[in-house]
């Protein structure tokens, strides 16, 4: 296999012939998906923006892979499940980090009402126009859960692009995708679909079966402008996933052969269907009104199933206005969500109702931002007598000063919050293997402080930010609440986090360019009222250092060779709140290389992941390791645009 991998890369590189290079420059991008659009140089927030071109060049198999390799986000398969991965931003940990970042797809929230991570594997990278990461901010418009920040995913629309792509790879990996769009003065239509499968790497049973997986996903979007002042929108998305994954293994097994059978096996069938509709009416050049609604139905089923499938029903509506002048931008409105989960004849409800207002003022080189959100969260679970309501307040203040045409300083503060998901009201008794109702749990609140510096030149884009987060009632799952085997969801009375984010994009010359992301974070438990032995400890599952680096070599205008390095330092195992387990989370390391040849309307590419066969895994506790990205894999394929 390794010989074939080398040949595929050499073939792509050999196709290149020497030609003069075209100029490539860096420039400030616009933050489009926040309440108020702004130039990233003038932004009062720490932001990262990635375009469709960035995603295409990475040649990733799914969105998690792009986030983990190219951004400051940390992702890792959730207890072995590669389709619903854990996500961490700014040190909330691999266990609960995904609940502390709001992820939206064209404005629709992907966060669940329970402890299931967002399903990003169902979003085809081929369909994405841009990704915007707003760090330690965004609570005013994103709402419940935006403690670490917000990830906004915007799909392609309103263009005449048509493209199709295929790739195949090791372990029976295969993928096919298409995107098609047509645009006229009044009507824009786009559609995309992707089908993917893998025969699996790890043996999961005595019969030699592997951890195979497959998915199919697609979307359709329509925009109609009957008159110049009115835009009507309609869209639909659907996905079907089937993923099998193995359980944890002991350290000796992991070090000997991480592909071997160990522990239990899980198979999850996860279906989602969503409809969205909206309109924008431009009252005049300054004032516009927006209405967006969506309905999403989901079904999650595990094989074998012990409690039956879970059925989700989500409905949301957002009504807002924009008022824009040369120096003042105002945005406000109502944000509503109603979600339910039905399982084993038990139905849980969570309802969010919020009003928000955001303002931005420009005075020469200075930009000021101020916003407020009022949100009421209601729970209803009649079977356990749960009927409670929390009232929460979010706020944002920001300032940016442009030093010159290339650089700026910024500072911001936000007060954010996270209401508990419906699973947080329960504990687990391992003696009887039963889940029990444990009563109310407090919402989490955070005060976020960030200062930063931007420098954007034609051949260099540098960003630096420092942050400090003061938290109250941080929500976590305590594996030893009273005494083993009992476990319970609980609150940490007081905790704090601080860190540094650095990013650098540089064009050295016409042949070489690169990118670097470095993140340093400390997450400390200050006071835990339920378990005093945790006070002063580090939050488990948080790596202090993270580095993502990419070096690109362009021998001619058509060919690109890329080297990608990903590193995260060791951490305490995910359940090690006492910081005393004998085994720690090993450092994560992966080296990837890719080659691309693009000419006219076609492209061929090849990529090797984990070139040096580095073992990686997720430690939950001693001798409980879930192998992830633990062997070398490769893909090769082509893309056609017409």
- Assign residue 622 the CATH number of its domain: 2.40.170.20
Question: Are the beta carbons of 26 and 459 closer than 8 angstroms?
Answer: yes
Q: What is the pTM of this model?
A: 0.92
Q: What percent of the chain has pLDDT over 70?
A: 90
Q: How many degrees, rounded to 5, is the angle at CA 376 between CA 374 and CA 378?
A: 170
Q: What pLDDT band is residue 38 in, cutting at 50, 70 and 90?
A: low
**What is the pLDDT at residue 593?**
97
Confidence of residue 9 (pLDDT cuts 50, 70, 90): very low
Residue 354 pLDDT > 70, yes or no? yes
Radius of gyration of the chain (CA): 24
Total domain count, the chain: 1
Q: Tell me what the mean pLDDT of segment 141-155 comes to.
A: 95
pLDDT band at 2 (very low <50, low <70, confident <90, very high): very low
pLDDT in tens, 210-231: 999 999 999 999 999 999 999 9
> pLDDT value at position 12?
37
Task: Quote the pLDDT of residue 262.
Answer: 76
Q: What pLDDT is recorded for position 7? A: 39
Pairing of strands 328-343, 346-363: antiparallel
Neighbouring C-beta atoms of residue 306, cutoff 10 Å? 7
| Tokens found for residue 628 | 């992830």
- Element (H or E) spanning 10, and its range? helix 2-14
**What is the average per-residue pLDDT within 547-561?**
96
Give the DSSP letter of residue 629.
S
- The predicted model gives 44-69 an average pLDDT of 94
**pLDDT per residue over 495-537, tens digit each?**
999 999 999 999 999 999 999 999 999 999 999 877 778 999 9
Report residue 480's pLDDT band, with 50, 70 and 90 as the boundaries: low
Q: What is the pLDDT of residues 423-474, one digit of tens each?
A: 888 877 766 656 767 777 899 999 999 999 999 999 999 999 999 999 999 9
Taking 50 as the threshold, does the pLDDT of residue 18 lie above it? no
Q: Which of 422, 593, 620 lies closest to 5, judged by CA? A: 593
Interval 294-320 mean pLDDT: 92
> What b/e string do you get for 603-634 counting C-beta neighbours within 10 Å, with b at 16 or more?
bbbbbbbbbeebbbbbbbbebbbbbbbbbbbb
Provide the residue range defining the domain that includes 430.
Answer: 2-641
Beta strand spans in 94-186 (E): 101-105, 108-109, 128-135, 149-155, 162-169, 173-183
CA angle at 127 for the pair 171 and 633, rounded to the nearest 5°: 20
pLDDT tens by residue, 325-343: 999 999 999 999 999 999 8
pLDDT at 4 (0 to 100): 43
The pLDDT, as a whole number, for residue 205 is 79
Residue 392: which pLDDT band, with cuts at 50, 70 and 90? Answer: very high
pLDDT > 90? residue 29: no
Strands (E), 283-406: 287-303, 310-324, 328-343, 346-363, 366-381, 386-402
DSSP character at residue 99: G
- pLDDT at position 28, please? 62
Distances (CA, A) of 510 to 12, 142, 457, 459, 593: 20, 40, 16, 10, 20
Q: Which two tokens stand for residue 591?
A: 């080296």
CB count in 10 Å sphere of residue 283: 12
- For the chain, the average pLDDT equals 90
Which pLDDT score, from 0 to 100, does residue 492 have? 92
b/e sequence 417-430, b meaning 16+ C-beta within 10 Å: bbbbbbbbbbbbee
Q: Which two tokens stand for residue 492?
A: 């940490």
Q: How confident is the model at residue 193 (pLDDT cuts 50, 70, 90)?
A: very high
Over 60: is that where the pLDDT of 264 sits? yes
Residue 376 or 25, more confident: 376
Q: What is the per-residue pLDDT across 364-385, written as a single tens digit (0 to 9) for each?
A: 999 999 999 999 999 998 776 7
pLDDT tens-place string over residues 172-187: 999 999 999 988 889 9
CA distance 69 to 78: 17
Per DSSP, the chain holds a count of helices (H) and strands (E) of: 6, 37
Q: How confident is the model at residue 105 (pLDDT cuts 50, 70, 90)?
A: very high
Q: Which range, of 6-20, 52-66, 144-158, averages the lowest pLDDT?
A: 6-20
């Amino acid at each position: 296999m390794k010989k074939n991998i080398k040949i595929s890369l050499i073939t792509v590189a050999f196709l290149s012939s020497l030609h003069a290079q075209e100029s490539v420059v860096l420039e400030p991008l616009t933050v489009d998906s926040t309440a108020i659009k702004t130039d990233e140089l003038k932004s009062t927030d720490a932001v990262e923006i990635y375009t469709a071109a960035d995603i295409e060049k990475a040649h990733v198999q799914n969105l998690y892979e792009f986030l983990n390799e190219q951004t400051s986000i940390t992702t890792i398969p959730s207890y072995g499940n590669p389709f619903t991965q854990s996500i961490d931003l700014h040190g909330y940990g691999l266990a609960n980090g995904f609940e502390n970042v709001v992820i939206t797809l064209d404005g629709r929230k992907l966060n669940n009402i329970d402890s299931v991570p967002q399903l990003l594997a169902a979003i085809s990278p081929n369909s994405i126009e841009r990704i915007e990461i707003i760090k330690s901010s965004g609570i005013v418009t994103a709402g419940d859960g935006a403690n670490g920040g917000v990830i906004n995913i915007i799909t392609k629309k309103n263009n005449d692009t048509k493209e199709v792509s295929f790739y195949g790879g090791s372990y029976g990996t295969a993928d096919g995708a298409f995107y098609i769009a047509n645009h006229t003065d009044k009507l824009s239509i786009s559609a995309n679909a992707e089908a993917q499968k893998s025969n699996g790497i790890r043996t999961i049973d005595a019969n030699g079966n592997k951890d195979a997986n497959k998915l199919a996903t697609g979307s359709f979007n329509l925009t109609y402008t009957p008159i110049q002042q009115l835009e009507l929108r309609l869209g639909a998305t659907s996905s079907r996933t089937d993923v099998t994954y193995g359980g944890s293994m002991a350290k000796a097994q992991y070090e000997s052969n991480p592909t071997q059978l160990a522990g239990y096996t899980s198979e999850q069938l996860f279906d989602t269907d969503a409809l969205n509709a909206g309109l924008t009416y431009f009252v005049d050049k300054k004032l516009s009104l927006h209405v967006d609604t969506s309905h999403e139905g989901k079904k999650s089923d595990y094989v074998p199933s012990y409690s039956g499938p879970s059925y989700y029903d989500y409905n949301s509506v957002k009504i807002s206005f924009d008022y824009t002048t040369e120096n003042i931008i105002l945005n406000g409105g109502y944000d509503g969500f109603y979600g339910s989960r039905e399982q084993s004849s038990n139905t849980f409800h969570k309802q969010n109702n919020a009003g928000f207002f955001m303002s931005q003022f420009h005075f020469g080189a200075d930009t000021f931002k101020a916003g407020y959100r009022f949100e009421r969260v209601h729970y209803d679970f009649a079977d356990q007598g749960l009927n409670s309501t929390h009232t929460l307040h979010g706020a944002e203040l920001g300032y940016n000063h442009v030093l010159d045409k290339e650089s700026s300083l910024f500072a911001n503060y936000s007060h954010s919050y996270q209401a508990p998901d419906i699973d947080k009201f329960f504990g687990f008794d391992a003696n009887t293997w039963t889940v029990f109702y444990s009563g109310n749990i407090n919402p989490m609140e955070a005060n976020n402080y960030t200062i930063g510096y931007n420098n954007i030149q034609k051949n260099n884009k540098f960003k630096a930010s420092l942050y400090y987060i003061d938290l109250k009632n941080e929500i976590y799952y305590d594996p030893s609440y009273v005494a083993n085997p009992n476990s319970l969801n609980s609150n940490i009375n007081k905790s704090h986090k601080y860190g540094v984010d650095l990013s650098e994009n540089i064009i050295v010359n016409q042949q070489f360019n690169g990118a670097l992301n470095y993140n340093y974070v400390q997450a400390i438990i200050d006071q835990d009222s339920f378990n005093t032995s945790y006070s002063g400890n580090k939050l488990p599952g948080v790596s202090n250092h993270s580095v993502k680096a990419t070096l690109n070599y362009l021998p001619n205008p058509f060919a690109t060779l890329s080297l990608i390095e990903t590193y995260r330092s060791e951490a305490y195992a995910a359940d090690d709140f006492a910081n005393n387990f004998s085994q720690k989370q090993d450092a994560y390391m992966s080296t990837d290389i890719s080659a691309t040849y693009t000419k006219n309307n076609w492209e061929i590419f090849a990529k090797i992941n984990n070139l040096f066969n580095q073992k990686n895994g997720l430690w939950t506790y001693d001798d409980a390791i879930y192998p992830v990205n633990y062997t070398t894999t490769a893909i090769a394929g082509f893309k056609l645009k017409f």
